[in-house]
Amino acid sequence: MSIIYNENSRSFKLVAGNSCYILAVVSENYLAHVYYGTALPDDDLTYLLRLDTYPFTPEVNNRDRGVFMDNLPFEYPCYNIGDYREHALSIIDKTGSAACDLRYKSHKIYDGKPAPEGLPATFVNSPDEAQTLEIVMEDKSAGLEVTLIYTAFEKLNAITRSAVVKNVGGENVKLTRVLSAVVEFDTDELDMITLNGSWARERFVERHPIRRGKQLIDSLRGESSHQNNPFTALCEHKTDEDSGKAWGFNFVYSGNFVSEAEVDQHRQTRYLMGINGTDFEWHLAPGEVFTAPEVVMVYSDSGLGQMSRTFHDLYRRHLIRGEYRDKRRPILINNWEATYFDFTAEKLVKIAEQAAALGIEMLVMDDGWFGKRNSDNCSLGDWFVNEDKLAGGLKALVDKVNALGMKFGLWFEPEMISPNSELFRAHPDWAIQTKGRALTLCREQCVLDYSRKEVRDYVYGMIKNILDNANIEYIKWDMNRQLTEVASAALPPERQRELWHRYVLGVYDLMNRLTTDYPHILLENCSGGGARFDPGMLYYSPQIWCSDDTDAIERLKIQAGTSMCYPCSAMGAHVSDCPNHITGRTVPFETRGHVAMVGTFGYELDVTRIPQADRDAIPGQIEEFKKYNHLVRTGDHYRIGNVFEDAEWDAWAFVAKDKSEALFEFVQAVSRPNRRSRRIKMKGLDAGAYYYEESSPDVKLSGAALMECGVIIPNISGDYRSRLMHFIRV
């Protein structure tokens, strides 16, 4: 049993893998957080709440009820009833009051996991993989019920949380904040780890000790963003890759979010995650419900590496869906960096011919094939083929590519509308905008109002028309600007603030339609690189373009940061031409291949124009990718180097689950003079087994030696060099 209710203590114990989470109903039916950490044999740990010491419960000490309210580790804290720390829920009720007070009403425990309507979420493949606890809380005065939903995965240290708010009264209620998860820590001796960056340098790892007061990362950009990823880990100061405690939180959502830690007057820490309360409102009429998206919580008592591997296992089995979930992805060649907007069907066929001969399996036609688009300043929304560029139409091109034995993939940016487009001229009000204000253009484009069904239907019709007329087997769904002047021509003034969330729901709706109607199409998400690399998107697209920065040395940081919670097998990664278009750096072709092959792998270059030596290397590189891809997709990932702390080198390994083989890669970012070879310690092997490296089968070393003493990496001459090793168990 993963979830146990103890009637005596009125406490719930959720066991997930070797972690456990305990909460309890206390005096006056408040719900308190008791413990989250390593699994313990005890069923009742409510002594930890210290309700027998001052301030006591209101039943005993109603005089100081406020002190109690400001001290109890609330499981789902409400605004304006004496708890002055950050809250999960705030409302405006029929009287205009913001006070809100939730008390336990009932609960149920059942096998399996419910699927929230219209939202992405983790799932079980069979009901015995997890148990779910639903606790109904009520605020009688406001006429609200809030169901807190917890699912504990049986074999993984993973628990998910969400909240459903229902108006059970007879009056309208306005929700002004509905977060998804709150966890209380009885300490402030914690570090906060976040993934931050910008365009072309997404998800760099930042770590700092938490301090008194509030510290947060968030997005108010309408998407999860390049700047802050909806992920946070709290950990002990001493926690490193391989030891120490860590609690990871990841929001299964692709819009505005907040991830916040607050250290209070008693040095307790409250951690909260959910939809950003800034500019959020939701009107609930009697009988209506609002569902807050899911937060995934992962606990590790063996360092950050174990935390990451749990996220990877969870997402690979319980979040990513579709035909490609467990399959090697086709090796693609994308024409973006090869041609940008300057292409014709003829040019693409030439690229495809060369690519096919080298073993590449799919041609992806990126931006610029539709409307009158020869630059990024027009035509978004006009999803019909530009026959000036593609003489004979799309089908003719796709057929030619298919005849070469290659699949064909296509780029769309379905959420956008260019002011210079037929669509905008016909429906200017379909763009998100505030009446009477100038539109803030970004990349000369605006965002379509996806809260409107007719807008989504129209765009879907256009996409469908393309898909039904040619053999498209892959879609790159891009999104290249963030939201501004957020207002909808279709919503009344009092509902304008719902648009942020309605927009995201609209995007999910369209992705759902697309993946349901075209289950064979491989969907790759993208947002100006990796601005929407989040679990919400992973639910619809088994891979996400990691960053527009394809420089292998920059990718060391980007991919290591991304691996904190996302599986490497979902990271869109390509070998591109050099000097790199973003950094101007020239990195050996071999190193570019080694770095890209721990992602989805592909090429983003004009294969007809790269140096002959690089072209000659492609078939071997493809063989190498195919040989090791099963380890990237199904193995355990170990970060061995830490390029954020030592930018001179990086290393990582993928170890088969049964520890029978391991792929080890090393990158020397900077060559140093007069430096001895390095000893780099392997991770994840079977200490008691013997291994040999494939290129020297006579040298057999124990897993213990490889992990305790390491492998020798010579001081390779030159910057940006890499080495690959394949360890096989004897």
User: Whole-angstrom Cα distance, residue 81 to residue 64?
Assistant: 13
User: Whole-angstrom Cα distance, residue 374 to residue 341?
Assistant: 5
Task: Mark residue 332 as left, alpha or beta (left: phi above 0; alpha: psi -120 to 50; beta: remaining).
Answer: beta
Give the tokens for residue 567: 């599986």
- Please name the amino acid found at residue 571: M
Give the tokens for residue 674: 């007069």
* Residue 548 annotated to the active site: yes
Question: Per-residue b/e over 635-653, b at no fewer than 16 CB within 10 Å?
Answer: bbbbbbbebeeeeebbbbb
Catalytic pick among 139, 548, 551, 650: 548
Helix or strand (DSSP H, E) at 110: strand 103-111
CB 199 within 8 A of CB 184: no
Interacting residue with ligand DGJ among 529, 567, 599, 635 (CB under 6 A): 529
* Residue 478 annotated to the active site: yes
* Residue 415 burial by Cβ neighbours in a 10 Å radius (0-12, 13-18, 19+): buried
Window 373 to 402, contacts with ligand DGJ (CB under 6 A): 376
Contacts with 712 (C-beta within 8 Å, 6 or more apart), sequence order: 677, 678, 679
User: Whole-angstrom Cα distance, residue 669 to residue 643?
Assistant: 9
The stretch among 79-87, 127-135, 138-146, 524-532 that binds ligand DGJ (CB under 6 A) is 524-532
| Phi, psi angle pair for 135, to nearest 5° | -115, 120
- Give the shortest CB-346-to-ligand DGJ separation in angstroms: 21
Torsion sign, CA atoms 227, 229, 233, 238: negative
User: Whole-angstrom Cα distance, residue 715 to residue 721?
Assistant: 10
The stretch among 62-70, 160-168, 212-220, 521-529 that binds ligand DGJ (CB under 6 A) is 521-529
Window 568 to 607, contacts with ligand DGJ (CB under 6 A): none
Per-residue binding string, ligand DGJ, 8-47, x by CB under 6 A, is: ----------------------------------------
> DSSP letter at 429?
G
Q: Measured from the CB atom, is 21 or 474 closer to ligand DGJ? A: 474
User: Whole-angstrom Cα distance, residue 382 to residue 370?
Assistant: 7
- Give the shortest CB-341-to-ligand DGJ separation in angstroms: 9
The stretch among 114-122, 235-243, 305-313, 523-531 that binds ligand DGJ (CB under 6 A) is 523-531
Interacting residue with ligand DGJ among 121, 152, 447, 526 (CB under 6 A): 526
Which of 701, 671, 676 shows the shortest CA–CA distance to 687? Answer: 701
- Give the shortest CB-376-to-ligand DGJ separation in angstroms: 6
Q: Measured from the CB atom, is 274 or 530 closer to ligand DGJ? A: 530
CB 10 within 8 A of CB 114: no
Q: Measured from the CB atom, is 260 or 548 closer to ligand DGJ? A: 548
Interacting residue with ligand DGJ among 101, 129, 382, 548 (CB under 6 A): 548
Establish if 552 lies at the interface with ligand DGJ (CB under 6 A): no
What count of Cα atoms within 13 Å lies in the side-chain half-sphere of residue 609? 12
Which of 410, 201, 397, 166 shows the shortest CA–CA distance to 290? Answer: 166
Catalytic pick among 367, 382, 478, 636: 478
- Give the shortest CB-689-to-ligand DGJ separation in angstroms: 43
Establish if 336 lies at the interface with ligand DGJ (CB under 6 A): yes
Residue 284's CB is within 10 A of a number of other CB atoms, namely 22
DSSP 164-197: EEEE-SSS-EEEEEEEEEEEEES---EEEEEEEE
Q: Measured from the CB atom, is 191 or 376 closer to ligand DGJ? A: 376
- Give the shortest CB-603-to-ligand DGJ separation in angstroms: 13
- Give the shortest CB-561-to-ligand DGJ separation in angstroms: 17
- Give the shortest CB-345-to-ligand DGJ separation in angstroms: 19
What count of Cα atoms within 13 Å lies in the side-chain half-sphere of residue 375? 4
DSSP 370-390: BTT-SSTTS-TT--SB-TTTS
Window 461 to 480, contacts with ligand DGJ (CB under 6 A): 478, 480
- Give the shortest CB-450-to-ligand DGJ separation in angstroms: 19
CB 591 within 8 A of CB 650: no
DSSP strands (E only) in 413-540: 416-417, 446-447, 474-477, 522-525
Interacting residue with ligand DGJ among 74, 249, 411, 500 (CB under 6 A): 411
Q: Measured from the CB atom, is 167 or 225 closer to ligand DGJ? A: 225
SS percent in the chain: helix, strand, coil, step 5: 25, 35, 45
User: Whole-angstrom Cα distance, residue 663 to residue 568?
Assistant: 13
Q: Measured from the CB atom, is 104 or 474 closer to ligand DGJ? A: 474
The stretch among 271-279, 311-319, 522-530, 679-687 that binds ligand DGJ (CB under 6 A) is 522-530
Establish if 554 lies at the interface with ligand DGJ (CB under 6 A): no
Which residue's Cβ lies closest to ligand DGJ? 367
Which of 549, 429, 576 shows the shortest CA–CA distance to 490? Answer: 429
Give the tokens for residue 223: 């998407």
Q: Measured from the CB atom, is 131 or 482 closer to ligand DGJ? A: 482
- Give the shortest CB-373-to-ligand DGJ separation in angstroms: 9
User: Whole-angstrom Cα distance, residue 56 to residue 27?
Assistant: 10
CB 402 within 8 A of CB 408: yes
- Give the shortest CB-40-to-ligand DGJ separation in angstroms: 46
- Give the shortest CB-470-to-ligand DGJ separation in angstroms: 19
Q: Measured from the CB atom, is 221 or 637 closer to ligand DGJ? A: 221
Establish if 528 lies at the interface with ligand DGJ (CB under 6 A): yes
Q: Measured from the CB atom, is 12 or 411 closer to ligand DGJ? A: 411
Quote the radius of gyration of the chain (alpha carbons, Å): 27
Q: Measured from the CB atom, is 545 or 727 closer to ligand DGJ? A: 545
The stretch among 348-356, 526-534, 637-645, 694-702 that binds ligand DGJ (CB under 6 A) is 526-534
Q: Measured from the CB atom, is 382 or 478 closer to ligand DGJ? A: 478
Per-residue binding string, ligand DGJ, 338-367, x by CB under 6 A, is: ----------------------------xx
Per-residue binding string, ligand DGJ, 480-499, x by CB under 6 A, is: x-------------------
What totals of helices (H) and strands (E) does the chain contain, helices first? 13, 38
- Give the shortest CB-420-to-ligand DGJ separation in angstroms: 15
Establish if 545 lies at the interface with ligand DGJ (CB under 6 A): yes
Judged by CB under 6 A, the number of residues near ligand DGJ is 12
Q: Measured from the CB atom, is 369 or 654 closer to ligand DGJ? A: 369
- Give the shortest CB-407-to-ligand DGJ separation in angstroms: 18
User: Whole-angstrom Cα distance, residue 206 to residue 194?
Assistant: 5
Q: Measured from the CB atom, is 264 or 366 closer to ligand DGJ? A: 366
**Residues that bind ligand DGJ in the complex, under the rule CB under 6 A:** 336, 366-367, 376, 411, 478, 480, 526, 528-529, 545, 548
The residues carrying an active-site annotation are: 478, 548
